[in-house]
């Protein structure tokens, strides 16, 4: 199994051609006239399709999936007030699926009662989030050999985790990088099955989003277009849809360093706040972009492997692709395959980000990373199209 950017095929957050409206697909907002994005998770019920996908991939009953989504909404909303209550003793936070609560790490007990008053649980740790993040940023400054796959802060372990490809762990450059990493702060090393590489591929007929001979998945509708992965195209590159008709062009793109882009929409296309279920599950409405905590469930839609669910494993992770490192990614236990690049990651009805890359596949399993949606919106001054 190998980590990879997942470049091939398209359409996760629906961009519909005007002629589709006669088939019952009516856009909720025209391009350039988006609904305002919600700043917090809604209490809207999850679709039957989302519940069935969670049940399949997370081993839950429908009732357990609904209960988990409700507790995750609460945990997501608690993140900001709990962090404020923790003050300088804040050591990170994560969602505990067993207790159904947000757990906040503290470097001392002085702020514990204030944090518990928000509704969060407390765990005492040695290192503050500021210390861990400073260690991660030190690693970002250096060059990493290809045998080093990624690194991220693990708040529950209270360490910075460096992922090393198992077959390369005895490589001299890898050993030297690990030795330098350990000197920067609290670092631990894990081994993973594969290394990072891109998987661009030729055009496959019938898929909706093409740039030259590359196909990728649409992430989320925004004012004037959609967001997707940066490795899918450069600024100015023309984009065509599933039928070969002109859609628009890349207006901004960044890769490596980041992996995000946005594409303008015109020529009779418009945007709607929908993530496709591809006939496997019901389509999911998008109502906001509140970021889910580590440990929360998350699902992904892509044109190759369709719906799959898992958990958020890490935030602010640096992934070391062969083209260069990409910073501030979110790692997940969700599988993905070539063609899913740029596609939608969603938790409940909250947009999370666009698919970047991963290792493995949806037969044998794997892990996938996404670029957080709010960073993309802020970078380009875009507004998420919401229901």
Asked, for residue 263, whether it belongs to a domain, the answer is: yes
Asked, for residue 328, whether it belongs to a domain, the answer is: yes
Distance CA 227, CA 208 (A): 15
341 counts as catalytic: yes
The string of pLDDT tens digits covering residues 251-281 is 999 999 999 999 998 887 888 888 887 766 6
Asked, for residue 11, whether it belongs to a domain, the answer is: yes
For residue 86, give both structure tokens: 């923790």
CA distances from 147 to 2, 33, 166, 332 (A): 11, 46, 8, 20
Tell me whether residue 387 is exposed, middle or buried, using C-beta atoms within 10 angstroms of its C-beta: 0 to 12, 13 to 18, 19 or more.
middle
Asked, for residue 161, whether it belongs to a domain, the answer is: no
The DSSP bridge partners found for residue 138 are none
Report which of residues 327 and 247 the model is more confident about: 327
What is the maximal distance between C-alpha atoms in the chain? 63
Residue 172 is predicted with a pLDDT of 93
**What CATH number corresponds to the domain at position 246?**
2.40.10.10
259 counts as catalytic: yes
Residue 156 is predicted with a pLDDT of 96
Has residue 128 got a pLDDT over 90? yes
What order of strands is seen across the sheet that includes strand 210-211?
Answer: 214-215, 210-211, 238-240, 246-254, 260-264, 225-228, 220-222
Q: 66-80, 94-108, 117-131, 235-249: which range is least confident on average?
A: 235-249
The string of pLDDT tens digits covering residues 140-172 is 998 899 889 999 999 999 999 999 988 888 989
Has residue 139 got a pLDDT over 90? yes
For residue 182, give both structure tokens: 């350990």
Asked, for residue 122, whether it belongs to a domain, the answer is: no
Alpha-carbon Rg of the chain, whole angstroms?
A: 20
Residue 17 is predicted with a pLDDT of 21
Residue 25 is predicted with a pLDDT of 23
Task: Work out the mean pLDDT of the chain and round it to a whole number.
Answer: 83
The DSSP bridge partners found for residue 237 are none
User: What percentage of residues in the chain have a pLDDT greater than 70?
Assistant: 83
Q: Which of 127, 152, 231, 308 is an active site residue?
A: 231
3-class DSSP state for residue 278?
A: strand
Residue 281 is predicted with a pLDDT of 66
Asked, for residue 112, whether it belongs to a domain, the answer is: no
Task: Tell me the residue range of the domain where 220 lies.
Answer: 6-53+202-380
Residue 42 is predicted with a pLDDT of 54
Q: Which of 163, 259, 340, 361 is an active site residue?
A: 259
Asked, for residue 104, whether it belongs to a domain, the answer is: no
Q: Could you give the number of structural domains in the chain?
A: 1
Q: Which of 289, 297, 303, 341 is an active site residue?
A: 341
Inter-axis angle of helices 129-141 and 172-184, nearest 10:
150
Asked, for residue 97, whether it belongs to a domain, the answer is: no
The string of pLDDT tens digits covering residues 10-63 is 322 222 222 222 222 222 222 222 333 444 555 556 777 778 888 888 999 989
- Residue 313: band (very low, low, confident or very high) from pLDDT cuts 50, 70, 90: very high
CA quadruple 41, 45, 48, 54: dihedral sign: positive
Question: Would you tell me how many other CB atoms lie within 10 Å of the CB of residue 184?
Answer: 16
Distance CA 194, CA 165 (A): 6
């Amino acid at each position: 199994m190998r980590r990879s950017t997942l470049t091939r095929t398209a359409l996760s957050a629906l961009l519909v051609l005007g002629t589709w409206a006669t088939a019952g697909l009516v856009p909720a907002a025209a391009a350039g006239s988006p609904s305002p994005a919600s700043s917090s998770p809604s209490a809207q019920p999850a679709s039957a399709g989302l519940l069935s996908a969670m049940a399949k991939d997370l081993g839950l009953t429908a009732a357990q999936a609904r209960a988990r989504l409700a507790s995750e909404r609460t945990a997501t909303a608690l993140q900001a007030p709990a962090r404020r209550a923790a003050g300088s003793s804040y050591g990170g936070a994560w969602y505990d699926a067993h207790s159904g609560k947000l757990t906040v790490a503290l470097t001392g007990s002085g702020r514990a009662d204030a944090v518990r008053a928000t509704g969060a649980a407390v765990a005492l740790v040695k290192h503050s989030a500021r210390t861990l993040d400073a260690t991660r940023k030190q690693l970002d400054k250096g060059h990493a050999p290809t045998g080093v796959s990624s690194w991220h802060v693990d708040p529950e372990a209270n360490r910075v985790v460096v992922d090393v490809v198992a077959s390369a762990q005895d490589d001299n450059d890898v050993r030297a990088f690990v030795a330098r990493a350990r000197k920067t702060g609290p670092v631990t090393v894990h081994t993973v099955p594969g290394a990072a590489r891109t998987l661009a591929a030729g055009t496959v007929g019938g898929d909706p989003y093409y740039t030259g001979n590359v196909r990728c998945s649409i992430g989320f509708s925004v004012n004037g277009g959609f967001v997707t992965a940066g490795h899918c195209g450069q600024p100015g590159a023309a984009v065509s849809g599933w039928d070969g008709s002109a859609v628009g062009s890349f207006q901004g793109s960044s890769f490596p360093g980041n992996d995000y882009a946005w594409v303008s929409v015109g020529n009779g296309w418009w945007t709607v706040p929908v993530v496709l279920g591809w006939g496997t599950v019901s389509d999911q409405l998008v109502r906001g972009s509140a970021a889910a905590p580590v440990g929360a469930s998350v699902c992904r839609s892509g044109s190759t492997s369709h719906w799959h669910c898992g958990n958020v494993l890490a935030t602010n992770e640096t992934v070391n692709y062969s083209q260069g490192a990409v910073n501030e990614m979110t790692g997940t236990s969700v599988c993905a395959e070539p063609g899913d690049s740029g596609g939608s990651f969603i938790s409940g009805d909250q947009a999370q980000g666009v698919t970047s890359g991963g290792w493995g596949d949806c037969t044998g399993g794997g892990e996938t990373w996404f670029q957080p949606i709010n960073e993309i919106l802020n970078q380009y001054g875009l507004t998420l199209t919401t229901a």
